[in-house]
Each structure stands twice: as C-alpha cells, then as structure tokens.
C-alpha cells in the first residue's frame, strides 16, 4: 500500500473485461473456450481513420473516427480502446500458459504448481458455487462473536490482512522526508461508493446511484441470511455510517498534494487522536514490526472516525463489517447469487456493462493479482525479447536527452532551478520489462480446489510482505505492477519510471515499425512518465525521492501560473452535463502535454542521426512527422459507455480519452504545421498552454 499516488498512463479504475475482434497483425493466440481471438493492432491503422473529418477541426475524429464501427463495445465491457485490445491479447497468452500449468503432473516446478492450481481452483466454478456461503462462515462468525467495541482492534487487524479495509487501511510506504526508509502509514478508507462526493452531490443521477447503492447493500445482506426488514434497516444504517465517514474524508483533489497526506506522528499521538481503538493491540495482531512513529495521512478523518465509532451502535458496526467483508471479496470466490449481485451494481449500474466477462478471464486476472511475478515470469519468456528491451531502453534515453534539452530551453526557469531539475532527471531509474530479481512465493500455500482459501492466503501473503517492510531500507528494485500489465507508471518517492513487458507490445511498441510511430505511441508514454517527475505533484520531490522544495520561489510561482493554463483548458471540457475537474486531472494532463513534446523532440533527434527525410510521405501517404502525431492520437482511440465516462470524469485523475488526444495536440504548433492548419482553427488556437 502506498500513500502517494503512482502516476500511470491509463486510468487504473477502468474495469478490464469483455471480448472484441481486432484485425490480424503479427502473432495471435487462441484457446478452445475463447469465442474470439484477439490480435495485435498495427502501429498505424488507417482503417480507424475518418478521412472525411478535418484534422484541423477535430484530430481525434480524423485519427479515430471509425473506431466505434470497427471495435464496438462488447457486452461484457464498459469500454473499448487500444489498451483494451492489448489487454485481451495478453489475457489469451496468459490463459494458454495457465491451462498448461493447471495440468496436474509431477514435473511442474513450484511456481508452475502455484499458478496452475490457483487458476484451476478459480476456474472450478461449480465447486465454488456448491460450497455456497460455507467458506465465508468463519469470517462472518468473527463478526457475530463481537460483544463489545473493545474487540474491534483484533478483528480489524485480521481484516487488514485479508484486504478488507473497513474504516481505514494500514500498510507501509516510503518516508516522504527520508526516501531511504520504509515507515508505517494509516489512510482513510471504508467507503463503498467510488469517492466521497458520491455521497453528497445533488442531481437526479447522483440520487439514483445512492438509492441503487442502498438497495444493493440490502440485497447483499439478504443473501447473507438477513430478513427483508432487517436487511433494509441495516442498509439504511450502513449508508448513514458511510456518509459520516465520507463527510470527514479528504477529497480526491486535495489528496493530490503530498503535503496533505503526510503527517508523521508518534504512535501515542495517534492513540490520543483515536482513543476508542487500541492501536498497539492492532499492530500486534497484524504481526507488523514494532514502530514508534506512523504517517497518519488524514488526521482529520481519524479524529472524525473516533467520534463515528463512539456514536454508532455495535449492531450497525457489525452489519457494516459484514457488508465490507463481502464487498472486498473477489467475485470468483463467492456463490453465484452474491457474485451476480456484486456485478449488477459495480458493473451494470456504475459503469453500464450489460454482462459479466467470462470466468476464465476473471480467473486469469485473479491469478495475475495473487501471483504477479510467478505468472509474469512465464509471460516474459514468451512475449518479451532482449531486443525489445534494448530498443525500449534506447528510446527512453533519447527522451531523457530531449528533457535535458527542454530544461535548457525554458525561458521562465532560473539557472539555479534548472541545475536541480537536471539533477533529478539524471537520477531517474529506468525499469523496463520485468524485475531483475523475481519475487519468492515459497511461503504462499496454494491448494487445488480451494479457491476461497487460496485467494485469502494470497492476500495475507502480500499484506505480511508489505507490513514487514516497516523500519527497513527501501528496496529500489521492487516493481509495483506485474510484467503482463498494459500500463506504466512513475513513482515520485522512488524517482523511477516503470514499463512492464505487457505494454511494450503493438500497437504501442513494435521494434519493426518506423521510429516515427514508436515515438508517437510508446514514446509519448515514456515522456509522460518522465514529465510526472516535474508535474504539480512530482515536482515536490527531489531526485532522491524526498519531499523537498528545490525550486526558487519565483520559479515555483511561474510554474503554478503555467500549470493553471492547463487546468483551465481541461476544465472547459464536459462529459454530458459533467464538467472535467482540471485540478484533479492536472498532473496527467501536464504529463500528456510534456510527454508528447518530449517524444516529438526525441524523434527529431533520432531522425537526424538516421538521416530520415522528414518531408517524405513514407507510409500510407503520411510524412514521418505526421506519423508521430497519428501514433499519439491513435493511442486514445476508444468508445466508452456513458456511465463509465461520467465515473471517470468525477473521480479519476485521467481525462477521458478524446480529451487526452486533442487536449495535448492543440498545444503543439508543430502539429498544426504538419497538417496545414491555420491559426484560429480549433486544433491550432492562437493561445496555447505549455509547462514543459
């Protein structure tokens, strides 16, 4: 668990589900029970383009206008985009690996046995459903046995270990002020709706979601054995409790400032802040190392939590804990009625997905979550070559070189701050493909035909692994994503960028494609992650990962002014009747704008070294410069269900895809020149924004 955001290229809140056809390019993988086969999309897919659209009016439509027609949203997904296509391709690869690993034979090594048996147990749907609520009984019995609030610490500690963050989340993190050390951290948690403002926003749709949520809790409690009347009464009480928690919670925009979530204090001070819970008893029950200080990320929340627990009767707390328990469980280990009910609210009502994805996909995803590096090692062996890693590293070095030049060119930054910025840039660690050292799962027991037990043991294994870090030096070689993940991230306290093998695949990255397309596609992501080190959050950390103001006062003020231009630009975009929150999305939008510029600069440098004629129409009638911008725009080709788009617009630090495409391009005069646009046209405004 981390208390500072890891900045990614794509919204992690998206539900990756469904199946979809993609045109065949390169290698394909299929299996017997896969209805459709996904194939890698080419780096430039001209079939996606709407040539009738004016690139100077709406470049997203020009580059992606046929996406929805060629790649309609499947019934078991809330969206369709290039990330989704690659995710589905990777799921097929992993499915084949796991089907083979699941064959029970004596020749399997330890990791193959674990991933194979975990997957086989999950895929055994009939056995899971036949067991019904029996696997949950011991956990529900813990709640029923509560006779006093004094017993809460032991129960909450156990739930922390199995991933049930009722009321709060306890874990480890780097110390913002000493990035060499791991510390204990306590964060607000315990809400069932996506974000605190869901409990308070006015409007018919917001009230509808709250009503559906209360009914959803009612339905879950009934399935756990409550009478209709008791379930309805408890659901109303739970909603009242969660609303009280939401009222004292820090909102998502405020959480973007690391100073707002860093409050180191002696453990005695936390005990005084929340005297209703015995914290030492809780730490002991989690088997965490002894510690004397803790980062209480949101002190006001915990002050409010103390009052809320005092004011809430034990019966309501027990009902809330039952609800939190089931709501935190993987649907694949729940009986069918509960699994269906959880999907109905979280899938259908929140993001508009009509059908749940096939069980095999959910079990592949669950295995990746439980044993990420055991499964990832097998994925890398099949899908990621040494040549691909070498090419990706070369591109990153090119883009870091472009950032070095970009810093030199800034007319608003002083020499003093430029020196510190370059110092940080040169200290960024580049992680590509997979970890240098694979995680050891020897202490994790996986038992065939015990889907529920395997899931909980995997959760406990990871919780103990995280808690054991407290008081120890930081392991800077550790990864925060599994190798097959279609994403990337920058971590400000590590000052590193991380590109899993899963995203280093077509269409985003293809070593055989023209450099112009690679720099437009994955080059943008590389520049995006590097820029995160210098956005409104990342800039508050130095090259060693410590939270430090290394800017002169004047330069800091100039940065804020330039960032406000980006914030204001994106705040003008709307999803239906919902306006984007430019402050919430500022970091990602800054990274998109900076990343595109860095990728473009790096490509021009690479093209110069390789004697590329930038004016020659070398591919499908497009010049290399045009290919860079087409590659960038096609990263964001997508179709989203309205419910998902609204959810992202209100809770996610990433802007919806179409705004990410056009939003950065309008700030690149080089783009307008490449496509013959005139100043004053929508894609080439007279006023542009630029930070980096």
Local structure of 684: helix, strand or coil: coil
HSE toward the beta carbon, residue 556, CA cutoff 13 A = 10
Q: Cα separation of 217 and 199, whole Å?
A: 15
Whether 682 and 58 have beta carbons less than 8 Å apart is answered as yes
Contacts of 72 (CB under 8 A, 6+ apart): 20, 80, 639
- Centre a 10 Å sphere on the Cβ of residue 159 and count the other Cβ atoms it contains: 20
Dist CA 508 CA 391 (whole Å): 13
3-state SS class at 575:
strand
> Which residues, listed in sequence order, are joined to residue 186 by a DSSP beta bridge?
170, 296
Find the DSSP H helices in 102-133.
110-123, 125-131
The pair of structure tokens assigned to 66 is 């046929």
Q: Which residues are catalytic?
A: 529, 592
Contact 566, 590 (CB under 8 A): yes
Structure tokens that stand for 470 in this block? 């407290």
- Residue 430 phi/psi, 5° resolution? -105, 115
Give per-residue burial for 578-587: e unless 16+ CB within 10 Å, then b: bebbbbbbbb
CA atoms within 13 A on the CB side of 260: 13
Cβ–Cβ under 8 Å, residues 426 and 364:
no
- Given the structure tokens 């409550």, which residue do they identify? 226
What distance in Å separates the CA atoms of residue 76 and residue 356, rounded to the nearest whole number?
Answer: 5
Residue 169 CA: distances (Å) to CA of 52, 282, 299:
52, 12, 13
Q: Are the C-beta atoms of residues 692 and 405 closer than 8 Å to each other?
A: no
Q: Which two tokens stand for residue 528?
A: 């995006």
Q: What are phi and psi of 626, to 5 degrees?
A: -65, -35
Question: Which residues are paired to 178 by β-bridges?
Answer: 175
> For the purposes of burial, counting CB atoms within 10 Å of the CB of 11, is it exposed (0-12), middle (13-18) or buried (19 or more)?
buried
- Beta strands 496-500 and 178-188 are unpaired
| 218 Cβ neighbours under 8 A, 6+ residues apart | 231, 232, 234, 235
Q: Which residues pair with 8 in a beta bridge?
A: 489
């Amino acid at each position: 668990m981390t208390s500072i955001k890891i900045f990614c290229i794509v919204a992690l809140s998206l539900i990756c589900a469904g199946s979809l056809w993609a045109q065949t390019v390169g290698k394909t993988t299929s299996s017997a029970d896969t209805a459709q086969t996904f194939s890698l999309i080419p780096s430039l897919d001209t079939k996606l383009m709407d040539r009738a659209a004016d690139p100077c009016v709406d470049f997203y439509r020009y580059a992606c206008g046929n996406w929805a027609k060629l790649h309609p949203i499947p019934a078991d997904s809330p969206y369709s985009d290039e990330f989704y296509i690659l995710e589905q391709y990777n799921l097929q690869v992993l499915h084949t690996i796991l089907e083979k690993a699941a064959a029970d034979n004596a020749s399997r090594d330890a990791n193959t046995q674990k991933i194979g048996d975990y997957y086989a147990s999950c895929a055994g749907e009939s056995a899971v459903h036949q067991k019904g609520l029996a696997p949950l009984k011991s956990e529900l019995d813990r709640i029923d046995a509560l006779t006093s609030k004094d017993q809460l610490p032991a129960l909450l500690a156990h739930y922390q270990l199995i991933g049930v963050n009722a009321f709060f989340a306890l874990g480890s993190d780097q110390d913002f002020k000493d990035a060499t050390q791991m510390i204990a951290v306590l964060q607000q948690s315990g809400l069932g709706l996506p974000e605190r403002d869901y409990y308070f926003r006015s409007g018919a749709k917001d009230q509808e979601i709250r009503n559906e949520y209360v009914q959803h809790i009612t339905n879950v409690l009934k399935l756990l054995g409550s009478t209709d009347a008791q379930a309805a009464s408890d659901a109303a009480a739970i909603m009242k409790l969660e609303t009280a928690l939401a009222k004292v919670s820090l909102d998502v925009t405020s959480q973007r400032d690391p100073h707002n979530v860093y409050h180191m204090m002696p453990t005695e001070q936390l005990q005084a802040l929340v005297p209703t819970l015995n914290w030492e008893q809780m730490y002991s029950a989690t088997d965490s190392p002894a510690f004397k200080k803790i980062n209480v990320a949101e002190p006001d929340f915990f002050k409010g939590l103390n009052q809320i627990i005092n004011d809430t009767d034990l019966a309501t707390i027990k009902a809330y804990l039952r609800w939190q328990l089931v709501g935190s469980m993987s649907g694949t280990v729940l009986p069918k009625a509960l699994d269906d009910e959880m999907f109905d609210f979280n899938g259908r009502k929140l993001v508009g997905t009509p059908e749940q994805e096939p069980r095999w996909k959910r079990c592949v995803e669950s295995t990746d979550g439980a044993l990420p590096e055991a499964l990832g090692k097998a994925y890398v062996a099949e899908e990621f070559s040494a040549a691909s890693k070498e090419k990706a590293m070369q591109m990153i070095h090119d883009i870091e070189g472009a950032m070095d030049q970009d810093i030199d060119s800034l007319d608003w930054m002083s020499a003093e701050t430029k020196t510190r910025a370059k110092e940080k840039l040169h200290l960024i660690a580049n992680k590509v493909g997979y970890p240098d050292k694979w995680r050891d799962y020897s202490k994790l027991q996986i038992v065939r035909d015990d889907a529920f037990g395997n899931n909980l043991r995997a959760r406990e294994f990871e919780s103990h692994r995280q808690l054991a870090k407290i008081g120890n030096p930081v392991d800077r070689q550790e990864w925060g994503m599994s190798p097959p993940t279609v994403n990337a991230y920058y971590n400000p306290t590590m000052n590193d960028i991380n590109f899993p093998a899963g995203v280093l695949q077509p269409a985003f990255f293809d070593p055989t494609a023209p450099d112009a397309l690679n720099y437009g596609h994955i080059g943008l992501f590389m520049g995006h992650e590097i820029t995160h080190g210098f956005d409104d959050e990342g800039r508050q950390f130095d090259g060693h990962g410590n939270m430090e103001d290394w800017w002169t006062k004047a330069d800091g003020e100039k940065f804020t002014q330039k960032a406000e231009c980006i914030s204001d630009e994106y705040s003008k975009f709307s999803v239906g009747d919902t306006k984007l929150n430019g402050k919430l999305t500022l970091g990602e939008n800054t990274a998109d704008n900076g990343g595109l510029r860095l990728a473009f600069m790096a490509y021009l440098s690479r093209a110069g070294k390789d004697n590329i004629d930038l004016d020659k129409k070398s591919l499908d009638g497009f010049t290399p410069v045009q290919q860079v911008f087409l590659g960038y725009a096609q990263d964001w080709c997508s179709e989203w269900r309205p419910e998902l788009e609204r959810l992202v617009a209100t809770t996610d630090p990433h802007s919806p895809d179409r705004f990410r495409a056009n939003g950065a391009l309008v700030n690149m005069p080089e783009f307008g020149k490449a496509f013959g646009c005139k100043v004053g046209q929508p894609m080439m405004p007279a006023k542009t924004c630029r930070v980096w």
